[in-house]
Amino acid sequence: MSFNRRHFLELAAGTTAALAAPAVIGMAKPRVVVIGGGAGGATAARYIAKDSKGAIDVTLIEPSRVYYTCFFSNLYLGGERTMQSLAHTYGKLASSHGINVVHDWAIGIDRDTRTITLASGYKMGYDRLILSPGIDFVDGAVAGWDTSKQNKMPHAYKGGSQTELLKAQLEAMPKGGTFAMVAPPNPYRCPPGPYERVSMIAHLLKQQNPTAKIIVADPKPKFSKEGLFREAWAKHYAGMIDWVGPNFGGNNVSVDADAMILNIDGEAVKVDVCNVIPAMKAGRICEIAGITEGNWAPVSGHTMQSRVDDKIYVLGDATNQGDMPKSAYSANSQAKVAAMAVRAELTGSRVFPAKFSNTCWSMLGTDDGVKVGASYQATDEKIASVGGFISKPGESADLRKATFQESLGWYDGITADMFS
């Protein structure tokens, strides 16, 4: 798909001075800058621009011209979706909503002057700033692995080329070979994600390489939807998957990417493909902005405002907000609360009490879908769960198929909510 669209608005050198100072409300349109064009950032930018009806200038900073969703990428790994079906662009945000889409990296934030510095050298001011940068990885989280090793042992936990690389490695595995995953510690993006990935990789290997083996080294004693995944592994992939928890060394792991060795509690295992998913932290720009405490950015659940700087809002995976999981659904839900709060601050529009929801679907096998979800409300301390649901073991094939079909409808809906 071509991205030479006239609707994308690029910053010109002559605009630097105009961008550098925050707007004065009452004299010029207030400026909102959103950093990160995923489920949180793209949604927030779209809702602020759409609902303010031109009263707020909105700029979205996102380095990628094509956004590949991490959600549903496991289905690509399992052979159930194409890579192109995960690809989305930003043209309609510009053409339909007047959002300035700037394809660049934000590398600096001066909170005192409310100024952002871009990798290209441009500077722009803001009245309110929304950060939705997703996750980065904790240095040294897995001994022997860092991002210089990701081409040999991919993480594939950010959508795009890493997903394609892992798929290519899986398809090139020798017959009867071994796939290994190093699962992450809590908290991390998409709690059921690694285990859906194991299911989808087993789904692929069952068809293409049925004597292959899967090893999962996991530092956690339990994991999201564990009963449902274990039931599916026994039903669909009996004898293929070996889950190694902390009682058997899953929390004492190192790798040698050059030799393709996974070491579990002192035992070296030669593997053919190794998916290393390290411990996670808020996207780097949050740390640069000075709004993190530990690995995450604390926020108020009422507005998604940073607890460090009330002119900055933080969304999605990067936040420490309470009970909501780190997921695309959560980020999209949080974005609408933040958009409402930002519009109220800048234009005086009406504010309603913050309410949130989340559902995470997982595909276990052909037409075999399960889900977990909850509703949430803001308290002064956190975003708190007020009730949830989860699929049950032993459900009928018809119900599981309907759940999977429901997930397809959700994917179409959320991506339209982000990009249309």
CATH number at residue 194: 3.50.50.60
Total domains in the chain come to 2
* Residue 122 shares a structural domain with residue 213: no
Region of residue 140 (left: phi > 0; alpha: psi -120 to 50; beta: else): left
d(CA 348, CA 288): 31
Show which of 228, 246, 278 is a domain's final residue.
278
* Residue 23 shares a structural domain with residue 105: yes
Q: Where does 64-158 have alpha helices with state H?
A: 73-77, 91-97
Helices and strands per DSSP (H, E), number in the chain? 10, 24
Contacts of 281 (CB under 8 A, 6+ apart): 135, 136, 137, 138, 287, 292, 295, 296
The position carrying tokens 């600096």 is 108
Closest CA to 336 of 372, 373, 378: 378
Residue at 357: amino acid letter: S
Looking at the whole model, is its pTM more than 0.85?
yes
* Structural domain that includes position 101: 13-136+281-352
* Residue 186 shares a structural domain with residue 264: yes
| Residue 32 forms part of a structural domain | yes
Closest CA to 180 of 286, 275, 54, 68: 275
What count of Cα atoms within 13 Å lies in the side-chain half-sphere of residue 275?
30
pLDDT (tens digit, 0 to 9) for every residue of the chain, 420 residues total?
332 333 322 322 232 233 333 443 445 899 999 999 999 999 999 999 999 999 999 999 999 999 999 999 999 999 999 999 999 999 999 999 999 999 999 999 999 999 999 999 999 999 999 999 999 999 999 999 999 999 999 999 999 999 999 999 999 999 999 999 999 999 999 999 999 999 999 999 999 999 999 999 999 999 999 999 999 999 999 999 999 999 999 999 999 999 999 999 999 999 999 999 999 999 999 999 999 999 999 999 999 999 999 999 999 999 999 999 999 999 999 999 999 999 999 999 999 999 999 999 999 999 999 999 999 999 999 999 999 999 999 999 999 999 999 999 999 999 999 999
Query: In degrees, to the nearest 5, what angle opens at C-alpha 152 toward C-alphas 151 and 155?
Result: 65
* Residue 88 shares a structural domain with residue 111: yes
Containing 197, the helix (H) or strand (E) segment is helix 193-208
Show which of 328, 352, 376 is a domain's final residue.
352
| CA max distance for the chain | 69
d(CA 87, CA 159): 9
Digit-coded pLDDT (tens) for 234-252: 999 999 999 999 999 999 9
Digit-coded pLDDT (tens) for 312-343: 999 999 999 999 999 999 999 999 999 999 99
